[in-house]
Amino acid sequence: MTELIRARAFLLPALTVAVALLDLPGRGATLARFEYVEPHMGTKFRIVLYAPDEATADRAARRAFDRIEELNHIMSDYLATSELARLSRNSGGPPVKVSEDLFRVLAESQNIARRSDGAFDITVGPIVKRWRRARRRHALPDHESIANALEKVGYENLVLNPRGRTAHLMKPGMELDLGAVGKGYADDEVLKVLAGFGIRRVLVAGGGDIAVGDPPPGRKGWLVAVEPLNLAPRAPVRTVLLHRAAISTSGDSEQHLEIGGVRYSHVIDPRTGLALTGYRSVTVVARRGILADGLATAASVLGSEDGLKLIRRFSGAGIFYVEERPSGMVTREARFPRFLRLNSPTPSAPTATIRKSDLRAR
Ligand code: AMP
Ligand code: MG
């Protein structure tokens, strides 16, 4: 069996994540390949797994999707009933006891926030909401509303206590947003759920956030291609072979706002309250999905130089950074894994292609 996963990401108008899965006849494989897709967390989750029989595969996949939905009810900032929303409503009050999942995600997020010096910050909720409204109305948020929202932002005002497993939002009006790490964490948890069924040859892709377990039978890894759209013909294509790793791309997606020829991203610089502008695509490989996801967002905000520095400080992490500037395409990388050329020796006809624009659920 051969797997080609083409995470076709970025730059320019319709950001596309295309996942192309190719099957070639395997040799003596006792495992069969199964593939499942369901909408969750505002995107589609795809699970590709190898299992001894269909009944086991179906049961395992069902449990995995149920787990994603459970996590959505914990981490969503869209659902007023989520644990995260309840926690945000308690901002300015006493510390709140939180679930193990939420505590883990908050703790990991705070670690990235500290190490990125606040470029990554899950307390950006109030600002993100203003930019979301701006996208709906197609009008930039005014200076005053950004300044007001900024007063409620700051990761130092989220205090975690591991002993009591509590989270304390110190200022009233604070709102947490786990959009930059949630899908990566869900990917990690899917791998765990499936391992509980003895299924370890797995790929899970929540939109542009992918985690993989052991390789498909007879292969060295899962082939993941990060490639730009045709509107950026000179943008580089990189393909990596991964196992027991995660890869995430943060960058301009269809969720951007374009006004006066300027393109405003859904990623915010929490230090200014302004959306990132221009065209950039940042892909991070890491040992776990939550890290790949969070670090890709953090490095987007930090830019090519500081972004690379940040990634170098995380063991096992690598980065492939692409930015289109007026002066031309800038590409930088650090410890990005071994790459392969797509033309050969990989197979040619994808059996499935997913475009990110088809995946939007909200
Ligand atoms: P991603 O697509 O993983 O880069 O995540 C982007 C999402 O994370 C946005 O839609 C926001 O919900 C949230 N976000 C935006 N800016 C930041 C930031 N600087 N730090 C943490 N989360 C952010
Ligand atoms: Mg992210």
pLDDT score at 253: 58
Flag whether pLDDT at 362 surpasses 70: no
The whole-angstrom separation of Cα 267 and Cα 149 is 15
Pocket test of ligand 1: the residue of 114, 124, 302 to mutate, having most ligand atoms within 8 Å of its CB, is 124
Query: Which is more confidently placed, 90 or 15?
Result: 90
Query: Ligand 1, residues 187, 267, 277, 281: which to mutate, most atoms within 8 A of Cβ?
Result: 267
Does the pLDDT at position 8 exceed 60? no
Q: Which atom of ligand 1 is nearest to the CA of 181?
A: 3
State the CB neighbour count (10 A cutoff) for residue 219. Answer: 17
Residue 256 has pLDDT above 50, yes or no: yes
pLDDT digits (tens, 9 = 90+) for 44-86: 999 999 999 999 999 999 999 999 999 999 999 999 999 999 9
**Is it the case that residue 347 has pLDDT exceeding 50?**
no
Calculate how far, in angstroms, residue 183's C-alpha sits from the geometric centre of ligand 1.
Answer: 11
The model's pLDDT over 240-250, given as tens digits with 9 standing for 90+, comes to: 889 999 999 98
Radius of gyration (Cα) for the chain, nearest Å? 20
The pTM is what? 0.88
Q: Which residues fall inside 5 Å of ion ligand 2, going by CB?
A: 180, 250, 293, 296-297
- How many Å apart are CA 312 and CA 59, to the nearest integer? 39
Instruction: Band the pLDDT of 239: cuts 50, 70, 90.
Output: confident
The DSSP-derived string for 169-220 is E-STT-----TTTHHHHHHHHHHHHHHTTT--SEEEEETTEEEE-SPSTT-S
pLDDT score for 226 = 79
**The two three-digit tokens of residue 287, written as one number:** 């040992």
Q: How many helices (H) and strands (E) does the chain have?
A: 8, 17
DSSP strand pairing (202-206 vs 209-212)? antiparallel
Q: State in Å: Cα 254 to ligand 2 middle.
A: 15
Which residues line the pocket of ligand 1, CB cutoff 6 A? Answer: 120-122, 124, 128, 177, 179-180, 250, 266-268, 270, 293, 296-297, 301
Sorting pLDDT into bands at 50, 70 and 90, what band is 229? very low
Q: Using DSSP bridges, classify how beta strands 245-251 and 279-286 pair: parallel, antiparallel or unpaired.
A: antiparallel
Residue 234 tokens, joined: 């000179």
| Ligand 1 pocket: which of 76, 209, 266 to mutate (most atoms within 8 A of CB) | 266
Q: Which ligand is nearest to the CA of 274?
A: 1
Ligand 1 atom nearest to 119, measured from its CA: 19
Comparing 50-54, 216-220, 223-227, the range with the smallest average pLDDT is: 223-227
Please state, as a whole number, how many other Cβ atoms lie within 10 Å of the Cβ of residue 93.
Answer: 12
Separation CA 310–CA 199 (nearest Å): 33
Range name among 61-75, 210-224, 298-312 with the lowest pLDDT average: 210-224
Contact yes or no for 35/51 (Cβ under 8 A): no
pLDDT at 266 over 70: yes
| Residue whose CA is at the smallest distance from ligand 1 atom 12 | 179
Ligand 1 atom showing the smallest separation from residue 113 Cα: 20
CA distance 281 to 102: 28
Whether 273 contacts 147, CB under 8 Å:
yes
**Cα(342) to centroid(ligand 2), Å:** 26
